[in-house]
Structure formats: C-alpha cells, structure tokens
Structure 1
C-alpha cells in the first residue's frame, strides 16, 4: 500500500474545500421545518471524488464541524461526522473500488444517488432510534415522525443528486490545473 503524504499545496486545497463546505451551508441554506436544504452534502461527495475518500472526509469533517460548532450544533458533531464517514466509505467502495475512479457521468450520478440515500437512511435511523429511546414512541410512530422530520435531508439529498454531476467536472478541472501547475513548477 502506497503511503500518502500531504504537501502544503494539497493541504491548502483541502482546507479551501473545507471552507467551501462551511460557506455553502452557512450562507446558502433554505429553511424547511426544523431543518434546511443546503449544498454541503453535495460538496462532501465532490470532495471525496476529487481528493479520494480519506482526504475528502478530512475536508468534510473540518467544514461540517466548523459549521456545527459556530451555529449551536456542537452536540451533533460526532453524529454528523459519523454520517460523513459513512458517505466517504460508500464512495470509497463504490467509486474508487467498483467504478475504479472512472469519470463517466453514470458513475458520478450513481455515486451521488448512493451518497444521498446513505444520508436519508442514516437520518431516518437516527431519528427513529432517538424517538423510540427518548421520545417514548412506539417504533412505527417514531419511524413516521422521523420521516416527517427530515424534509431538509430529502431536499439536500435531491440537491446532492443534481449538483454533484454539475460541480464535479468543474472542480475536477481545477484539480487537474493544480496538478499540472505543480508538474511545471518541478520541471522549471
């Protein structure tokens, strides 16, 4: 297994991507009930596609963590990070493994749909579990309440499915330009 090292430029790119994730949630959100629709999840997927699942998760953890910390959701950080980790693992096995990082539109779209479904399933599970354990609800009632509660998750998942195939090629070109610049600098 090849050891991966982070040079300053790559670390800077990941940090900028983390900032982009934070900013996309902070300033481009649409309130829907108790939740909101945002493009943070779409950028988490794009980050994992561009940087790989490990470094993409690092950018996601930083961006999502800072948003939650600064907006009164500090108690949610561990759960949000576990959800982001689950998305990164799915991307690792699906896009990096099964699709062998081939940038076909179908592969990108299937990966985006899988990531969106992971978020939906995990949110339903999370709210069903908390509703059953702490809400004194029966399992069916807690499940129905969970589905009703995650309208923002459904919206963000739809945004992910739509935005990832659009944003990924753009960010991929930026990443390629970054790599070409590094190659030219090493030669010169």
Structure 2
C-alpha cells in the first residue's frame, strides 16, 4: 500500500508554493475591466507539472483559496478552486500525452489557457442566464467579463515554458 502522507519538508515546500500563488496575484496584477491580468494561473500549471496533479491541486486550492478569501471573493472561492482543478486535470492529461520536448510546455500552457477561457465563458454565461438574461445577452456579458482572462491566459502561455524549468531546478535543489 502506498504511503500518502506528506513529510514536513514536502508540506513546507507545497505551502511556500501556495503562498507564491497568492502573493503573485496580490502584488503582480494589471487591472483590465472588472478583472485583472495575473500570473496565478501560470503558477497553478507549474505546480501541477512539478508536484503532479494531486499535490498541484492541493497547492492551487490553498493558494487561490487564500487569495480569494483575503480579497473579498469568498463567495466564489469554490468556483475558482473548481476551475483550477479542471485546468490541472487537463494539464495532467495533455502533459502525459505529449512527447518529452521543450514544445510540450508551450502546448500545456496553451491547453491550460484555452481551458480557463472556456470555463470562464461558460461560468459567466450561466450566471447571466440564472439572472434571467437571454442566451445572447448572457454571452455578451460573458465576453465583456473575460477580458482579463485573455490577458492572464496569454501570460500563462508565455510564463509556463519560462517558469517551469526555473522552479523545477529550485525544487530539485531543495530536495537534495
């Protein structure tokens, strides 16, 4: 039977990466309309690639959850976490299916970005329809609200191939 317990060292490393996600969104964001561009999603992808899907999901849940709760988004924290879990699942399957080369990181970043855009488009359309808007009006609302998502998605596509090797090396150095 496999031991699923985290060591203290692993717990500290995962906690630090969770804090990095929360702090990167808090301090490195660019307001765009009702949303903002940030590197949180890119770091979620990097955490899934470095620690695997299960531990990456834990890191993302804590990091994004802490940010949302501390910044007035507590009512939607569950949606943020659910979106991150879906993105991590997609990242896991795409990464495992690709041959091992440098381009795979770009494709993984693109898959994560596209997944996030589709999820946000669906989320805001559904919210509009629950608010008694027509499908057309709900889609228009969704398109207006996801402007920041496009920026964060572009940041994810660019940042994942850059950040992954850096954090992978740091993680390997820490584990020695």
TM-score range, shorter chain: over 0.9
Of residues 129, 132, 150, the one that matches 1:132 is: 129
Once the two structures are superposed, residues 87-125 of structure 1 have per-residue CA deviations (whole angstroms, 9 ceiling, x without a partner) of: 111122121x3137x3x2211111111011111000000
- Which whole-Å CA distance do the structure 1 matches of 2:120 and 2:142 have between them? 8
Once the two structures are superposed, residues 57-96 of structure 1 have per-residue CA deviations (whole angstroms, 9 ceiling, x without a partner) of: 111110100100011000011100100000111122121x
Does the residue aligned with 1:68 lie in a helix, a strand or coil?
helix
1:163 aligns to what? 159
1:145 aligns to what? 141
1:119 aligns to what? 116
- Which whole-Å CA distance do the structure 1 matches of 2:10 and 2:107 have between them? 27
Does the residue aligned with 1:52 lie in a helix, a strand or coil?
helix
Once the two structures are superposed, residues 119-148 of structure 1 have per-residue CA deviations (whole angstroms, 9 ceiling, x without a partner) of: 1000000000110111x2211221122012
The structural deviation recorded for 1:177 is: 1.2
Please list, as runs of the form range in 1=range in 2, the aligned pairs for 1:21-170 lying within 5 A after superposition.
21-95=21-95, 97-99=96-98, 102=100, 104-134=101-131, 136-170=132-166
- Which whole-Å CA distance do the structure 1 matches of 2:104 and 2:91 have between them? 11
The structural deviation recorded for 1:9 is: 0.9
For the aligned residue pairs, the C-alpha RMSD in angstroms reads 1.3
TM-score by length of 1: 0.90
Does residue 1:172 correspond to 2:168, yes or no?
yes
- The structure that has the greater radius of gyration is 1
Does the residue aligned with 2:6 lie in a helix, a strand or coil?
coil
- Which whole-Å CA distance do the structure 2 matches of 1:51 and 1:2 have between them? 17
The structural deviation recorded for 1:2 is: 4.5
Does residue 1:5 correspond to 2:5, yes or no?
yes
